[in-house]
Amino acid sequence: MNDVVIIGGGAAGLFCAIEAGKRGRRVMVIEHNAQVGRKILISGGGRCNFTNLGTTAENFLSENPHFCKSALARYTPQDFVRLVRKHKIDYYEKKLGQLFCRESSRQIVDMLLAECERAKVEIRVSCEVKSVTRNDIFEMETTAGKLRAKNVVIATGGLSYPKIGATDFGYRIADQFAI
Ligand SMILES: Cc1cc2nc3c(=O)[nH]c(=O)nc-3n(C[C@H](O)[C@H](O)[C@H](O)COP(=O)(O)OP(=O)(O)OC[C@H]3O[C@@H](n4cnc5c(N)ncnc54)[C@H](O)[C@@H]3O)c2cc1C
C-alpha cells in the first residue's frame, strides 16, 4: 500500500510528491490527463514565470497568515532557483524579480519529472479519481480500479482552464470532509 496518494499531477502535486519521496515515503501521483503539468506548459506565455525573487508572506492571502511565513522560511525562491540551476535551465529576470525560462516551460515539467524519478515517485496518468472515502485508511475509486493509501493529498488545482483538465474535485472533497 502507498504511504501517500497525491491526486493531481500539476505543479503542487508533483512538488509535494518529490518532497514526500525524498523523505522515504512510498508515493503515487494520479493524473487524469495523459500527461502531467499541462497548466505549467501554458504558464508565463509558454516560458513559465517559475518564481519571484521578492516573494514574501505579505504577498499571500490566508486565513492563517503564519502558514505562509513558515512555508517560505523553509523553502525560499532561492531554493527553487538552485533547483533550476542544478537542471541547467537557462532563465532571465523580466522585471521586478520575475524569473522566466529562456527556452520553454517544458523544461520545468521535465525538471519536476526528473526529480520525481529520483525520489522514486510512481506517476499514473490517464487515471481519474472519482471518489475518496476514509475509514482507518483512505480508499479511492478510480477509472483504473480501487486504490488504498495511508494519506491522501488533494492537489487538483482550481477551476481555471477546464479544457486542460481543471475540475471541481478539490472543492467537492472539501465539502465532503467539511473542511
Ligand atoms: C494561462 C495561465 C498562465 C499562468 N502563468 C503562470 C506563471 O507564469 N507563473 C505562475 O507561478 N503561475 C502561473 N499561472 C498559475 C499556475 O499555472 C497555477 O497556479 C498552477 O499551475 C496551479 O498548480 P496546481 O498544481 O495547484 O493545479 P493544476 O496545475 O490545475 O493541477 C491540478 C491537476 O489535477 C488534475 N486533476 C483534476 N481533477 C482530477 C481528478 N479527479 N483525478 C485526477 N486528476 C485530476 C488536473 O488534470 C491537473 O493536472 C498561470 C495560469 C494560467 C491559467
CATH number of the domain bearing residue 172: 3.50.50.60
Whether residues 65 and 141 share a domain: the answer is no
Whether residues 163 and 90 share a domain: the answer is no
The helix (H) or strand (E) run that includes residue 87 is: none
Mean pLDDT for the chain? 96
Query: What percentage of the chain reaches a pLDDT higher than 90?
Result: 94
pLDDT digits (tens, 9 = 90+) for 78-127: 999 999 999 999 999 999 999 999 999 999 999 999 999 999 999 999 99
Cell of 43: 504558464
In contact, 175 and 40? CB cutoff 8 Å: no
129 pLDDT more than 80:
yes
Q: Measure the CA–CA gap between 116 and 163, rounded to whole angstroms.
A: 26
Whether residues 79 and 33 share a domain: the answer is no
What pLDDT is recorded for position 111? 98
Whether residues 75 and 117 share a domain: the answer is no
Return the SS3 of 15: helix
**Average pLDDT of span 24-49:** 97
pLDDT digits (tens, 9 = 90+) for 146-155: 999 999 999 9
Whether residues 96 and 111 share a domain: the answer is no
What's the CA-to-centroid distance between 59 and ligand 1, angstroms? 19
**Burial class for 70, CB neighbours closer than 10 Å (0-12, 13-18, 19+):** exposed
Whether residues 36 and 60 share a domain: the answer is no
pTM: 0.96
Whether residues 109 and 164 share a domain: the answer is yes
- Count CB atoms within 10 A of the CB of residue 107: 21
Parent domain of 28: 1-46+105-179
Q: Would you place residue 165 in the very low, low, confident or very high pLDDT band (cuts 50, 70, 90)? A: confident
Whether residues 40 and 113 share a domain: the answer is yes
Which amino acid residue places its CA nearest to atom 8 of ligand 1? 44
What pLDDT is recorded for position 168? 94
Q: Choose the residue to mutate in 39, 104, 160 for probing ligand 1, maximizing ligand atoms within 8 Å of C-beta.
A: 39
Whether residues 39 and 66 share a domain: the answer is no
Instruction: List residues near ligand 1 (CB under 6 A).
Output: 7-13, 30-33, 38-40, 42-44, 48-49, 128-129, 155-157, 160-161, 165-167, 169
Q: Measure the CA–CA gap between 110 and 101, rounded to whole angstroms.
A: 13
Q: Choose the residue to mutate in 43, 55, 154, 172 for probing ligand 1, maximizing ligand atoms within 8 Å of C-beta.
A: 43
Whether residues 160 and 94 share a domain: the answer is no
Last residue of a domain, one of 103, 131, 146: 103
What's the CA-to-centroid distance between 67 and ligand 1, angstroms? 21
Q: Measure the CA–CA gap between 3 and 20, rounded to whole angstroms.
A: 9
Last residue of a domain, one of 103, 123, 141: 103
Residue, of 116 and 178, whose pLDDT is higher? 116
Whether residues 94 and 54 share a domain: the answer is yes
Instruction: To the nearest 10°, report the CA torsion of 155, 158, 163, 168.
Output: 80
Whether residues 93 and 140 share a domain: the answer is no
Query: How many domains does the chain divide into?
Result: 2
What pLDDT is recorded for position 160? 87
179 pLDDT more than 90:
no
What's the CA-to-centroid distance between 136 and ligand 1, angstroms? 30
Query: What percentage of the chain reaches a pLDDT higher than 70?
Result: 99
